[in-house]
A and B are shown apart, each in its own frame.
Chain A
Amino acid sequence: MDKVKIMLIDDNRVFCDELKETLSLNGCEVFTFFNGKEALRSVEKVKPEIILLDLKMDGLSGFQVADKLKKNEKTKTIPIIAISGFYRAHETFFNIHNIYCCLTKPFNPAVLIDTIKGAIKQSSESVD
Chain B
Amino acid sequence: MITKKKNKGIHKQAKLLNTILENIPLLIMLINEDLTVQQINKFPSSLLQKKPVKVIGIPTGEVLNCLNALSDPNGCGFSKLCRKCKLRKTILETFKTKKDHNNKESEFTLLNAGKKNSFYILFSTTFINFLTRPMVLLSLQDITKRKKAETILKQSKKEIEDLVSFKSKELLETQKVLDKSKRLSELGTLASTVAHELRNPLCVIQTASYNIRRKCRTNDLTKHLDNIDIKVTESNEIIENILSYAKIKSPRLQVINLNSLIEESLIFAENRFSGNAISITKKIESTKDLSISADKLQLGEIFSNLIENAFQATSGKKQPKLTITTARTNDSRFIATFKDNGCGIDCKNIEQIFEPFFSLKSKGTGLGLTICRELINLHNGDISISSIKNKGTIVTVSLPISPGRLS
Contact = CB atoms under 8 A, between A and B. Distances in A.
B243 A87 contact: yes
20 contacts: A14-B204, A15-B200, A18-B204, A18-B211, A19-B207, A21-B207, A22-B210, A22-B211, A22-B214, A85-B196, A85-B203, A86-B196, A87-B243, A87-B244, A88-B243, A105-B199, A106-B199, A106-B202, A106-B203, A107-B203
Given A12-B200, A18-B207, A106-B202, 4 more contacts: A18-B208, A25-B211, A85-B203, A88-B244
Nearest to B204: A15
10 tightest A-B CB contacts, nearest first = A106-B203, A85-B199, A105-B203, A109-B210, A18-B207, A87-B243, A106-B202, A105-B199, A106-B206, A21-B211
B359 to A, nearest CB: 21
A25 B214 contact: yes
B45 to A, nearest CB: 85
Nearest to B202: A106
B107 to A, nearest CB: 73
Interface string A84-128: 011110000000000000000111111000000000000000000
Contacts of A19: 207
Contacts of A106: 199, 202-203, 205-206, 232, 236
A106 B196 CA distance: 11
Range of interface residues on chain B?
20 to 34
Q: Secondary structure at chain B's binding surface: helix, strand, loop or mixed? A: helix
Nearest to A86: B196
Interface in B166-221: 192, 196, 199-200, 202-208, 210-211, 214-215
Contacts of B244: 87-88
Nearest to B196: A85
A105 B211 contact: no
B391 interface: no
B158 interface: no
Interface of B: 192, 196, 199-200, 202-208, 210-211, 214-215, 232, 236, 243-244, 247
A110 B243 CA distance: 25
Nearest to A83: B203
Nearest to A18: B207
A19 B200 CA distance: 12
A15 B211 CA distance: 12
Contacts of A88: 243-244
Q: With a 10 A CB-CB cut-off, give which of B202, B203, B215, B244 has the most chain A CB atoms.
A: B203
B205 to A, nearest CB: 8
B135 to A, nearest CB: 98
Nearest to B232: A106
A104 to B, nearest CB: 8
B301 to A, nearest CB: 12
Contacts of A105: 199-200, 202-203
Nearest to A112: B207
A19 B207 CA distance: 6
Given A25-B211, A87-B244, A87-B247, A109 B206 contact: yes
A116 to B, nearest CB: 14
A105 B236 CA distance: 9
